[in-house]
Amino acid sequence: MRLILLTSLTMIAFAANSVLNRLALVDGVMGPAGFAAIRLIAGATTLGALKWASQRKTRPPTRTGLKGAIGAGSLALYMLGFSFAYVSLPAGVGALILFGGVQVTMFAGAVVLRERVPAQRIWGGALAFGGLVWLLWPGSATAPPLAGSLLMAAAALGWGIYSLLGRGTVDALAASSLNFTLAIPLGLLVYTILPDQITGYGAFLAVVSGGVTSGMGYALWYQLMPQLGATRAAVAQLSVPLIAMAGGMVFLTEDITMRFIVASLLVMAGVWVSMRSKD
């Protein structure tokens, strides 16, 4: 029960990131590069403060080689792709593309890492992925913009890799703090190349997203990953789009299409089937 509750709390935090990002960019004044850079800095600051305050006795990870570069690079890819995608995507649609892509990445990672995947979870994952295919199928006026979809797919690749790295984490807080800190230069580099305007309201939302729903949410996620496993974690995240959709309806007055409703039902059915499978 504790695992279910903490996982649910983490999924709400993930969905809140979609709503906060979209809220910041919806008026076209706050830019995606600035939002991502501030989000990374706020996350690193919050996690660094928490790590200092906790005074843990466990030895912090020192991933300064290839593994450290992968952690920082995958986090930056997710953050930047996520922000730029939300220039054109609604909150719920963006979340569905993101976590559908994450599912594919993490299932592939489970195969590479030789994690045993029950047949029922495979069928559930396939059903959920079918919902994503239905949403993105071309030739419909309700299909999401291609550029935004590709950017969110890149973000999904980054988040999937980042989540897989959390499987063997001993100190989730220290690992998350290090990842955010190492990713800051990449975020600032993109902002230098593609500078955009920063508003007070947008910066506030970026700080909330970085410090609370990202920083603390991701540290909690790294704590849960070893207990969930790659495939269960992948499927659990597919509940995020529905939460983000609800947030988009309440805070952004976004329209919900029949295509999105059908896709969401398929995704949730897949989540239900997969989570019922026995390890």
Tens of pLDDT, residue by residue over 211-264, are: 999 988 888 887 887 787 767 777 677 778 778 888 888 888 877 778 778 877
User: Tokens representing 40?
Assistant: 């990374």
| Confidence (pLDDT) at 107 | 75
Mean pLDDT (the chain, rounded): 83
Contacts of 112 (CB under 8 A, 6+ apart): none
Angle, helices 172-193/66-85, rounded to nearest 10 degrees: 60
User: Tokens representing 42?
Assistant: 């706020």
Three-state SS at 138: coil
pTM of the model: 0.82
pLDDT above 80 (res 271): no
**Cα separation, 195 vs 5, whole angstroms:** 40
Asked whether the CA dihedral 72, 73, 78, 79 is positive or negative, the reply is positive
| Confidence (pLDDT) at 84 | 96
| Confidence (pLDDT) at 77 | 96
Closest CA relative to residue 30, chosen from 180, 206, 154: 206
**Cα separation, 184 vs 194, whole angstroms:** 15
| Confidence (pLDDT) at 65 | 66
